[in-house]
Amino acid sequence: MIIRRPGFGATMAGLAVLLLATAIAALAIGATGFGLGGLLHPGSAGRDDVAWLVLSQIRAPRVVLAALTGAALATSGAVMQGLFRNPLADPGLIGVSSGAALGAAIVIAAGGAWLGSGAIGRWGVPVGGMAGSLASTALLYLITTREGVTSTNLVILTGVALGAFAAALTGILIFRANDTALRDLTFWTMGSLAGATWTRIGLLLPFLLAAAILMAGLASPLNALLLGEADAALMGYRVERAKRLAMLGVSVATGPVVAFVGVIGFIGVVVPHLVRMVTGPDHRLVLPGSALLGAILLLTADTIARIIAIPADVPVGVVTAAIGAPLFVWLLIRLHDVDVPS
């Protein structure tokens, strides 16, 4: 069985073009029925100011947030799958998402009492999400590390338990929440990009940039880890450091994203597999490829979520799961296996 691979440049260029096309389509489609055409031919409709407002303040930030969220979740999933050599791994599996949701939920539940709408209020939710994901990652690391060695099997099992515990605490907060907080809290359990603003994107960017820098150095160690931890160490890779960086990068990427858009499933699990089907297992392609395809798919899902039940806005998490799950099963049946067998 001879393996043929598309080139790095061709793959990335193809995905970038696809992302651009998806973004333009997402900008053009929406509940208000303003197309891009109205902007290109000023004066034709007489409603240009409204159209411009809808595009620049509602659709555009939502498109950007969807792309960033999709990229962050998919890349985190690719890192987790490579690190744990487990095809099901994603930030949700090891409880990072639940920790982030709990952190943000605590801020929101407390919010009515002491948070204003000023800087603290704006930073409160993403910092809460970030703190929640970092705290759950740190706890996970402490529990699963003995004498500097982190057991990856233990990480998965403990992560599942921590995630369930954090979800239970979030549930208690929801149960005890007042009406305002309840609406905000419920919105996470399904995930939605409806709250996108340029301010939020501005808050998100530094975290995602930091995560991107952390993850950029992980491609080679993750490739080596596909041979097992012993061989990776023999090949001169600092395996334990790679594990720490990967867990840190994933929680930095996932925490604030979950804080803003809630828990969106399936993107983190499915996208890396789709990318590997084309590029093969090399993480130097899988990581950037997942970022681009994650952006494309979440953008598509969110556009569907916006228009499928106009004027209602279906939570995007429902769309990704409703479309993603059957698609994934179909792909598994067709391929009969995946590239990262446990």
Partner 1 sequence: MTLRLDTVSLHSRERPLLDAVSLTLHPGEIVAVIGPNGAGKSTLLRLASGLVAPTSGTVSLDGTPIGDLPPERLAARRAMLGQDSVLRARFSVAELVRLGIRPPCPPARREAIASEALRRVGLEAFAGRDVMSLSGGERQRAHLARVLAQLAPSMHAGRPGFLLLDEPISAQDLARQRLVMDIARDHARQGGGCLMVLHDLNWAASRADRILVLNHGRTCAEGAPAEVLTPDMLKTAFDIAAPRLRIHVETERPFVIPHDFARFRATTERKSASCISP
Chain contacts with partner 1 (rule: CB under 8 A): 1-4, 85, 220, 223-224, 226-228, 230-231, 233-238, 276, 280-282, 339-342
Q: Which is nearer to partner 1, 23 or 246 (CB)?
A: 246
Minimum CB–partner distance for residue 85 and partner 1 (Å): 5
Q: Which is nearer to partner 1, 207 or 237 (CB)?
A: 237
Cα-based distances in Å from 57 to 69, 71, 243: 18, 22, 40
Task: Give the Cα separation of 8 and 21 in Å (integer).
Answer: 20
Minimum CB–partner distance for residue 77 and partner 1 (Å): 16
> How many Cα atoms within 13 Å fall on the side-chain side of residue 282?
12
Q: Which is nearer to partner 1, 186 or 220 (CB)?
A: 220
Task: Give the Cα separation of 139 and 151 in Å (integer).
Answer: 14
Minimum CB–partner distance for residue 213 and partner 1 (Å): 17
Q: Which is nearer to partner 1, 12 or 318 (CB)?
A: 12
Task: Give the Cα separation of 327 and 73 in Å (integer).
Answer: 18
Minimum CB–partner distance for residue 37 and partner 1 (Å): 46
CA neighbor of 251 nearest in space, from 210, 217, 284, 293: 210
Minimum CB–partner distance for residue 341 and partner 1 (Å): 6
Reading the block at residue 298, the tokens are 């979440």
Q: How many CB atoms lie within 10 A of CB 183?
A: 11
Cα-based distances in Å from 248 to 39, 233, 238: 43, 20, 15
Residues belonging to the chain: 342
Task: Give the Cα separation of 217 and 212 in Å (integer).
Answer: 9
Q: Which is nearer to partner 1, 19 or 242 (CB)?
A: 242
What does DSSP assign to residue 87? T
Task: Give the Cα separation of 64 and 66 in Å (integer).
Answer: 5
CA neighbor of 80 nearest in space, from 68, 92, 71: 92
Minimum CB–partner distance for residue 4 and partner 1 (Å): 7
Q: Which is nearer to partner 1, 30 or 77 (CB)?
A: 77
Strand partners, 149: 146
Minimum CB–partner distance for residue 82 and partner 1 (Å): 9
Minimum CB–partner distance for residue 161 and partner 1 (Å): 25
Cis peptide before 126 (omega within 30 of 0): no
Task: Give the Cα separation of 209 and 325 in Å (integer).
Answer: 30
Q: Which is nearer to partner 1, 1 or 113 (CB)?
A: 1
Task: Give the Cα separation of 220 and 242 in Å (integer).
Answer: 10
Q: Which is nearer to partner 1, 195 or 280 (CB)?
A: 280
Q: Which is nearer to partner 1, 205 or 335 (CB)?
A: 335
Helix (H, G, I), strand (E, B) or coil at 336: coil
Minimum CB–partner distance for residue 239 and partner 1 (Å): 9
Reading the block at residue 297, the tokens are 């798919």
